Structure 1
Amino acid sequence: MTYAERFQLALDQSKLSRPQLARELGVSAQAIGEVLKGATRSLSAENNSKAARILGVSSDWLATGQGQMNMSNVAAAPSLGTSRLIPVVGHVKGGTDGFLEEMQYPVGHGEGFVQYWTKDPKAYALRVKGESMHPRYRAREFIVVTPSIEAQPGNDVVVKLKDGRKLLKQLNRIHDDEIQLVSINDGYEPATIQRDEIEDIHRVGGGVPPDALIES
């Protein structure tokens, strides 16, 4: 298991969002994203120890993979699962009006798979086209979507509206009859959408670099 996979495992177990963890560590959410994608090999020793305390895991396990993940509950770790192959079912591209210009899902598993840790048996991956979602997601990277895991404020989400339009945004607030979404690249004003206009909200678990593709 790589550092990024251990970090993702600990983050998912903690139920914290990326922005929440970033605030606790005093780093940017983008920096956390780089760690989860494997673009940054690891956190500094100081931040690794701090992250381990926040996430409730052993700092040695997080840094090296050695020893027990959670010293206070050793038996819980095996039930969390391991990394597995996630099918790449389509692609996603941002448009000029804040909505997705293209999002094909699902279209089969023609591109192959990416390896990613998740408990969601319905997880799927989308390849990013273009630079409209930079710097959060770069061209040709993969976004892993976990529709069975409930999205929480602070999570990135794929939202499909009943009129067919689609968005990839950060979920900011949830109310009884509406949700508020914010742009992932500060390119657009926050959007408030009525719940009865929404067909699906799928949580984004994280990103995977382009070279992670395993062709089918």
Structure 2
Amino acid sequence: MKSLAERLERARVGPPKRTKKAIADAVGISTASVNDWFSGKTKTIEASNLIKAARFLNVEPDWLATGRGAMRVIDVDHIFPLSHSDSNLTSNVIAMDPFMHAPTVEIPMLTAVASMGRGETLAYDGDQIINVLSVSKMWLEHNVKAKPQNLRVITGAGDSMHPTFSDGDMLLVDVSKAKIDIDGVYVLSAHERLFIKRVRQRMDGSFEVSSDNPTVKTVDILNGDHEIQVHGRVVWAWNGRAL
């Protein structure tokens, strides 16, 4: 992400999602000033405010200021204490497995944010890895029917897939599913936007793309005339839902 405004927009998605007013309150400046950050009117943030904003958004100050380095670096010692024998684990691995001595699988976390709303333009940096999620191999084999090397973690944004999952949920995606072979929830891109939608095949062979939220009345039919790319199938939402 080249601009400060793009990085701020990506960072505030979370999880958890942050409002501009909440950022302003945390930094101790006016909402108007924060709006200038997001609009691109302000190109840089003074050091003291940058550190406060980065801390509130749970991102690295250097990444927020320049785009260099990891977006987030999370110390596993703050989640599960490590014994001396675990010292070879790197500090930018998020430990989701309390049984630290059990075999784990490391899954890349991507910068990609996919819309679960009405198609607003959101951050999408393709396969840029910002972190690694360390998951119990036993848990993965029991809950997810996919090869570990094909899994990636992205963030969902918006409410059109509620209640299946919510704004800011981390989603586990099987990127080997580049074609729609079964009904399910897929990550799709069209017109340089990334979407998460439920896809069902109809009797005539076309595909119906819809949202799970009953208040969102959007249904599209794919019959081969649309330029749609399938990036993978969502197989787990980090709210405990298998898909």
**TM-score, with length taken from structure 2:** 0.43
TM-score, length basis structure 1: 0.47
- Larger RCO: Structure 1 or Structure 2 (Cα < 8 Å, ≥ 6 residues apart)? 1
Structure number with greater Rg is 2
